[in-house]
Amino acid sequence: MELARLPFRRIGLRLTEGIDSTLLVLMAALSMLGLLALFSASYENPGRVVSQVMNLAVAVAAMWLVAQVAPQTMMRFAVPAYVVGLAFLVAVALFGDVVNGARRWLHVGVTRFQPSEMMKLALPLMLAWYFHKHETSLKLRNFAVAAILLAVPLGLIARQPDLGTAALVGAAGFYVIFFAGIGWRVLGTLAGLGLAALPVVWGFLHGYQRKRVLTLLDPTTDPLGAGYHIIQSTIAVGSGGLWGKGWLNGTQAHLEFIPERHTDFIFAVFSEEFGLIGNVVLIVLYSLLVARGLVIAANAATVFARLLAGAIALMFFTYAFVNMGMVSGILPVVGVPLPFLSYGGTALLTLFIGAGILMSIHRHRKLVQT
Amino acid sequence: MRGSEIRNSEQELHQFQVRVGIAGVAVIIAFGLLAARFLWLQVLQHDVYQAKAEDNRISIVPVTPNRGLIVDRNGVVIARNYSGYTLEIFPRRVKNLERTIDELTQYVDITARDRARFRKLLQETRNAENLPIKNRLSDEEVAKFAANRYRFEGVEIKARLFRQYPFGDVASHVAGYMGRINQEDQDKLEEDGVAANYRGTDYIGKAGVEATYEAELHGTTGFEQVEIDAAGRGIRTLSRTPSHPGNNVTLTLDMRLQQVAEIAFGDRRGALVAIDPSNGGVLALVSKPGFDPNLFVDGIDPQYWAELNGSIDKPLTDRAISGLYPPGSTLKPYLALAALETGKRKPSSTIFDPGYFDFGGRRFRDDKKGGHGVVDLYKSITESCDTYYYHLANDMGIDAIARFLAPFGFGTRTGIDIAGESLGVLPSPEWKLKRFKRPADQKWYPGETISIGIGQGYNSYTPIQLAEAMAMLANGGSMYRPHLLANIDNANSGERREVPAEIVSTVRLRRDNVDFIRRAMAGVAKEGTAARAFAGVTYTVGGKTGTAQVIAIKQNEKYEESKVAERHRDHSLFIAFAPVESPRIALAVVVENGGFGARAAAPLARTVLDYFMLGKVPAGMDQPTPEDDTAVGTEEDESD
């Protein structure tokens, strides 16, 4: 008996090695809520739920693999990942596919992918590596170099144009610079300059992007176009009330008033059916996830590890905040999926790989400290 | 130095932890803002949004367009639409499906087949809103159900258009059939970016012209803004964008000629393809047995589907374009032409035929015991002398034969505008090398060339390839792509698009050689193997009989029809063109297991040509066209 059980136990130990149970439980809870909402949102195509389960399986496997890689090894990938990502972005600008008026996709063999998605992790990895290299002698010059490392991919992504992803990649890079200790005075100056530059940025925006910002300010100006998304999703959230209309009972979702209801606007479906109570549960879960990430960052062994962990933790926050803010009508409509809930394999993969990095950093927290 | 580094690093860590704390506070504030927004929307303003959701009562309902008609070259309708009432169930609104159906039988005649079909539909299309339980209700059934409608939540009567094929199984492989849109079709529609235009459409062309010209026939879906109640039921139409009917498709086919050919086949299996040699337009395309496409229209019931699929006669297979048959002696005119063009034979050159040809220790027999005696090229065709072609094939060699036959389209898909064409086999050493894996099988043996000379061996072609080659011989060497589409009429603008004749390639042939072969083929009908079938013919016609072995006959055995099982009997073939001077029709006929070419296929071709040339209608065809009464198609939409 004992002998027979032993190998299984060993396999079990091997499989759970390096996996942070807190993170895993939180992500599992969020994914479950996601599947519930997805089932309701895809009543006309139940196959989507099955394929999302497949996406989850792939993402968990990727997370497990990444969790087995030591942070020191990851550092070696920082520069190649960044350079390759940058090369892909240039390739997209030159030969990418145009979908919905934006050049975002690149063909690789039989499949195609969005290099900007890769930058979401490659950029913080690169910046964390850069600050780690110059840890003993950080000067303003270093921050200037970091700003350039950030600006180049950002410009390429914004040019596609994909402002949503550009904002997310930019945020990830900014978090690294912030955690690396950029002076408050510098930060304040930059913020002031940024505000002053807003009218210039406005001039560079595409027509539909300007429209989205204007629509946010007054959705009723465009009830059949861009404003329609916001009006309908706000109605869905508001009509959900305290307790929600109940699972599978959302009229906004089921009478097809909510566009993109299984991807970017899945929160409208969730919120309509589970109400304020459901939203609070969701916010608490995200808060705990971010908190866990920040704790891991605070205890990390090296500069590289802590900067990367801090940035990833805040990335989770940013995605959740931007998406929920967009659906509830306080942020402009940009293509940002709700982490762990929206349908789609690529976003899940990025999130779970991010979690895998956190797990690896947590596991190696003491090794170098002594 | 070291001390300051440690202090520096401690300081750094402290600074980092402070910033983590700041970040944490920022996260809490931001999420707090969101929570406040939710509180505002979901509690304080809940009544407002609740009312807005209730008011959200405008639904967009698709208006399905009428499908375009399919007509033949004379305007005879092959496929049209027919309006009728269906009884439809909304499965998601019905609590107990079986019981509801049981109760419905009191008012509407629902058979076991209807039930089986409904169950199959339910399985296949999981996300459909409503599915028909019974099609084509009688007026009485409509009245009975309407009176009891309040008792059946989730069951409704709908007026719908059905596809109707007035000729039944005539030209069934040309018209094809319609079927419910399945997942595969749906994916294809989405890939093509036309999924939105198929909202509200349940059926799609699955085979034949219905499938090839689906995009033309379907039309443009319109939309209605409908006020709906909380349960999603329509109350009032607010605005309406009408649908535009699909385009009408005119075929090159002559439906009466087709009908004559199919009647001539009777219960026999086989295929006939008739082409206009001057442009490649297909005049008739027969594959027997056929099927009744009307039975596919409202979701085929599983039993009939099993019958069609399981039948050894394979009625769903389009023999005319996918059936593969050895051409037998119908290949001889092309080999004779090859001999003339390559200079291997002159019209005057003769051989003596003792009734066999010995080669490599094997005896190749002629069909005629004792042989044909002295045979020249003309006689070799009219009497179909095998020995002459054994010699010729041996003299020419397989490479020269394959090189000459390939430009006539043998072993190449013709590119006709319906799906499912087979490739066929034009034998050559290269083909054999590719076809077989084992080196021993890959080698070409000289003996194999001999059988190729009489159209046996590895030779195998589709009837449409045989007809296409015949058309090329008839027009002097131009290969037109065979096509069924003549023109497309836009039902909205009245604009007509003609399909221009497309020359695929041209073979350079000497005029006197072609004329000689044509004369010899005319001789086949006048004094040769088909003389009896064409006795008393009043127009000029050229032809060639062929007999294709289904089973191999042993070397010293004589084929005796009476001793062979029906399905192992030889196939009967005939190719023909008429009139000889300026051909207007070229055709190929295969009658499966029909025996000698002269016996089954040639008389069949005679019947078809008599109708085409003289308008002579065979017995058993008193009513050539079903009357055209309820066709719906060109008018603006009438569906709900």
Chain A residues within an 8 Å CB radius of B31: 283, 286-287, 317, 321
Please check whether residue B630 lies inside any domain of the structure.
Answer: no
Q: Of A200-209, B235-244, B257-266, B295-304, which one has max mean pLDDT?
A: B257-266
Are residues B512 and B472 both part of a single domain? yes
Task: Note whether B19 contacts A45, CB cutoff 8 Å.
Answer: no
Instruction: Identify the weakest region by mean pLDDT among A41-55, B49-63, B213-227, B432-446.
Output: B49-63
B445 touches chain A (CB under 8 A): no
pLDDT level of residue A269 (50, 70, 90 thresholds): very high
Task: Note whether B39 contacts A251, CB cutoff 8 Å.
Answer: no
pLDDT higher at A233 or B225: A233
A124 touches chain B (CB under 8 A): no
Q: Which residue in the set A257, A290, A317 is minimally distant from B56, CB to CB? A: A257
pLDDT of residue B133: 86
Contact status, residue B92 vs residue B126, Cβ threshold 8 Å: no
pLDDT of residue B369: 82
What does the pLDDT average to over B116-140? 77
Q: Which residue in the set A181, A254, A280 is minimally distant from B35, CB to CB? A: A280
Contact status, residue B72 vs residue B255, Cβ threshold 8 Å: yes
What string of H, E and C letters represents the secondary structure of A152-219? HHHHHHHHCCCHHHHHHHHHHHHHHHHHHCCCHHHHHHHHHHHHHHHHHHHHHCCHHHHHHHHHHHCH
For residue B91, give the CATH number of its domain: 3.90.1310.10
Chain B residues within an 8 Å CB radius of A280: 35, 38
A314 touches chain B (CB under 8 A): yes
B20 touches chain A (CB under 8 A): yes
What string of H, E and C letters represents the secondary structure of B61-130? EEECCCCCCEECCCCCEEEEEEEEEEEEECHHHCCCHHHHHHHHCCCCCCCHHHHHHHHHHHHHCCCCCC
**Token representation of residue A253:** 């979702």
User: DSSP class of residue B504?
Assistant: E
What does the pLDDT average to over A277-287? 96
Mutation pick from A182, A233, A239 vs chain B, by most beta carbons of B within 10 Å, is: A239
Are residues B112 and B49 both part of a single domain? no
pLDDT level of residue A114 (50, 70, 90 thresholds): confident
Query: Distance between CA B330 and CA B328 in Å, rounded?
Result: 6
Task: Note whether B38 contacts A237, CB cutoff 8 Å.
Answer: yes
Query: Distance between CA B390 and CA B457 in Å, rounded?
Result: 12
B142's CB contacts (< 8 A; 6+ apart) are B85, B157
Please check whether residue B576 lies inside any domain of the structure.
Answer: yes
Of the three residues B251, B279, B294, the one that is the final residue of a domain is B251
pLDDT of residue A135: 80
User: DSSP class of residue B135?
Assistant: -
**Token representation of residue B469:** 């080659």
A186 touches chain B (CB under 8 A): no
**Token representation of residue A251:** 């009229």
B587's CB contacts (< 8 A; 6+ apart) are B272, B273, B274, B275, B284, B467, B470, B575, B576, B577, B605, B608, B609
Are residues B221 and B320 both part of a single domain? no
Q: Which DSSP string do the residues of B164-207 spell out, in sequence order?
A: E-TTTTTTHHHH--EEE--HHHHHHHHHTT-GGGGTT--EEE-S
Q: Of A351-365, B176-190, B212-226, which one has max mean pLDDT?
A: A351-365
Chain B residues within an 8 Å CB radius of A283: 31, 34-35
Of the three residues B232, B251, B270, the one that is the final residue of a domain is B251
Of the three residues B191, B217, B251, the one that is the final residue of a domain is B251
Query: Using one digit for the tens of pLDDT, what is the confidence trace for A287-297?
Result: 999 999 999 99
Q: Which DSSP string do the residues of A284-340 spell out, in sequence order?
A: HHHHHHHHHHHHHHHT-SSHHHHHHHHHHHHHHHHHHHHHHHHHTTSS-----PPTT
Are residues B518 and B569 both part of a single domain? yes
- Catalytic site residue from B329, B428, B460, B478: B329
| Distance (Å) from the alpha carbon of A242 to chain B's nearest alpha carbon | 6
Chain B residues within an 8 Å CB radius of A135: 9, 12
Task: Note whether B30 contacts A317, CB cutoff 8 Å.
Answer: yes
Please check whether residue B636 lies inside any domain of the structure.
Answer: no
Are residues B260 and B231 both part of a single domain? no
What's the whole-number average pLDDT of chain A?
85
Query: Distance between CA B173 and CA B232 in Å, rounded?
Result: 42
The reported pTM is 0.62
pLDDT of residue B555: 44
Contact status, residue A168 vs residue A322, Cβ threshold 8 Å: yes
Are residues B362 and B235 both part of a single domain? no
Are residues B472 and B581 both part of a single domain? yes
| Distance (Å) from the alpha carbon of A108 to chain B's nearest alpha carbon | 19
Tokens 């805040």, residue?
A314
User: DSSP class of residue B40?
Assistant: I
Please check whether residue B622 lies inside any domain of the structure.
Answer: no
pLDDT at B58 over 70: no
Q: Which residue in the set B27, B33, B53 is minimally distant from A252, CB to CB? A: B53
A242 touches chain B (CB under 8 A): yes
Q: Of A21-30, B185-194, B587-596, which one has max mean pLDDT?
A: A21-30
Sign of CA dihedral A361, A362, A363, A369: positive
Chain B residues within an 8 Å CB radius of A303: 12
CA distances from B193 to A220, B67, B190, B196, B215 (A): 30, 19, 5, 8, 12
Type of residue numbered B630: T
CA distances from B440 to B359, B402, B433 (A): 21, 22, 10
**Token representation of residue B346:** 């002159």
Could you tell me which chain B residue has the CA closest to the CA of A44?
Answer: B127
pLDDT at A112 over 60: no
Q: At what angle do helices A303-327 and A226-240 cross, to 10 degrees?
A: 90
B616 touches chain A (CB under 8 A): no
Residue in B571, B581, B575 with CA at minimum distance from that of residue B608: B575
Are residues B382 and B519 both part of a single domain? yes
Q: Which residue in the set B23, B28, B53 is minimally distant from A251, CB to CB? A: B53
Task: Note whether B42 contacts A181, CB cutoff 8 Å.
Answer: no
**Token representation of residue A118:** 């890769």
Task: Note whether B42 contacts A252, CB cutoff 8 Å.
Answer: no
For residue B344, give the CATH number of its domain: 3.40.710.10
| Cα of B522 vs its chain's centroid, Å | 33
Sign of CA dihedral B350, B352, B353, B359: negative
Please check whether residue B376 lies inside any domain of the structure.
Answer: yes
Query: Using one digit for the tens of pLDDT, what is the confidence trace for A93-110?
Result: 887 665 555 556 666 554
pLDDT at A189 over 80: yes
What does the pLDDT average to over B208-229? 85
Task: Note whether A239 contacts B52, CB cutoff 8 Å.
Answer: yes
Determine the length of chain B.
Answer: 640
pLDDT of residue B439: 86
CB-CB neighbours of B230 under 10 Å? 11
Query: Using one digit for the tens of pLDDT, what is the confidence trace for A9-23?
Result: 777 777 787 888 999
Examine residue A71 and say whether the peptide bond preceding it is cis (omega within 30 degrees of 0): no
Contact status, residue A321 vs residue B33, Cβ threshold 8 Å: no
Contact status, residue B271 vs residue B135, Cβ threshold 8 Å: no
Examine residue B289 and say whether the peptide bond preceding it is cis (omega within 30 degrees of 0): yes
B53 touches chain A (CB under 8 A): yes
A303 touches chain B (CB under 8 A): yes
Are residues B224 and B241 both part of a single domain? yes
Query: Which residues numbered 32-51 in A keep a CB inside 8 Å of some CB on B?
Result: 43-46
CA distances from B202 to B88, B394, B600 (A): 13, 59, 44
Examine residue B245 and say whether the peptide bond preceding it is cis (omega within 30 degrees of 0): no
Q: Which residue in the set A242, A255, A329 is minimally distant from B56, CB to CB? A: A255
| Cα of B93 vs its chain's centroid, Å | 39
* Percent above pLDDT 70 for chain B: 89
- Please list, residue by residue across B307-334, b when 16 or more beta carbons sit within 10 angstroms of its beta carbon and e when fewer do: ebeeeeebbbbbbbbbbebbbbbbbbbb
Task: Note whether B23 contacts A294, CB cutoff 8 Å.
Answer: yes
Task: Note whether B42 contacts A325, CB cutoff 8 Å.
Answer: no
What does the pLDDT average to over B448-461? 91
pLDDT at B293 over 80: yes
| Distance (Å) from the alpha carbon of B12 to chain A's nearest alpha carbon | 8
CB-CB neighbours of A108 under 10 Å? 11
Query: Using one digit for the tens of pLDDT, what is the confidence trace for B503-540?
Result: 999 999 999 999 999 999 999 999 999 999 999 999 99
pLDDT at A170 over 60: yes
Contact status, residue A168 vs residue A318, Cβ threshold 8 Å: yes
Query: Distance between CA B114 and CA B99 in Å, rounded?
Result: 15
A283 touches chain B (CB under 8 A): yes
Query: Distance between CA B116 and CA B358 in Å, rounded?
Result: 63
Query: Distance between CA B97 and CA B88 in Å, rounded?
Result: 12
Task: Note whether B41 contacts A324, CB cutoff 8 Å.
Answer: no
Task: Note whether A239 contacts B28, CB cutoff 8 Å.
Answer: no
pLDDT of residue A1: 47
Query: Distance between CA A122 and CA A82 in Å, rounded?
Result: 5
pLDDT level of residue B5 (50, 70, 90 thresholds): low
pLDDT at B640 over 60: no
Type of residue numbered A352: F
What does the pLDDT average to over B7-34? 89
Task: Note whether A135 contacts B41, CB cutoff 8 Å.
Answer: no
| DSSP H helical ranges for B443-583 | 446-452, 463-475, 511-526
Paired with B71 in beta bridges are B77, B250
Q: Which DSSP string do the residues of A342-369 spell out, in sequence order?
A: SS-HHHHHHHHHHHHHHHHHHHTTTTTT
pLDDT of residue B633: 41
**Token representation of residue A220:** 């009723």
| Distance (Å) from the alpha carbon of A241 to chain B's nearest alpha carbon | 4
Please say if B329 is a catalytic residue. Answer: yes
ipTM of the complex: 0.91
Query: Using one digit for the tens of pLDDT, what is the confidence trace for A128-156?
Result: 999 998 887 778 888 889 999 999 998 88
Instruction: Identify the weakest region by mean pLDDT among A196-205, B5-14, B276-285, B424-433.
Output: B5-14
Residue in B34, B9, B31 with CA at minimum distance from that of residue A291: B31
**Token representation of residue B176:** 């094809």
Task: Note whether B43 contacts A298, CB cutoff 8 Å.
Answer: no
Mutation pick from B6, B42, B47, B58 vs chain A, by most beta carbons of A within 10 Å, is: B42
- Counted across chains A and B, CB pairs separated by less than 8 A come out at 122
Chain B residues within an 8 Å CB radius of A45: 127
pLDDT of residue B556: 47
Please check whether residue B455 lies inside any domain of the structure.
Answer: yes
Query: Using one digit for the tens of pLDDT, what is the confidence trace for B590-626?
Result: 999 887 767 889 999 999 999 999 988 887 665 545 4
Please check whether residue B139 lies inside any domain of the structure.
Answer: yes
Contact status, residue B209 vs residue B484, Cβ threshold 8 Å: yes
Are residues B39 and B185 both part of a single domain? no
A286 touches chain B (CB under 8 A): yes
Label residue B464 left, alpha or beta by phi (over 0 means left) and psi (-120 to 50 means alpha): alpha
Please check whether residue B619 lies inside any domain of the structure.
Answer: no
Query: Using one digit for the tens of pLDDT, what is the confidence trace for B142-165?
Result: 888 888 887 887 888 887 888 889
Task: Note whether A328 contacts B41, CB cutoff 8 Å.
Answer: yes
- For residue B505, what are the domain limits? 255-488+498-614
pLDDT of residue B132: 84
Label residue B457 left, alpha or beta by phi (over 0 means left) and psi (-120 to 50 means alpha): left
Task: Note whether B12 contacts A297, CB cutoff 8 Å.
Answer: no
Are residues B209 and B288 both part of a single domain? no
Are residues B188 and B314 both part of a single domain? no
How many domains does chain B contain in total?
3
CA distances from B629 to B164, B180, B625, B640 (A): 12, 26, 12, 22
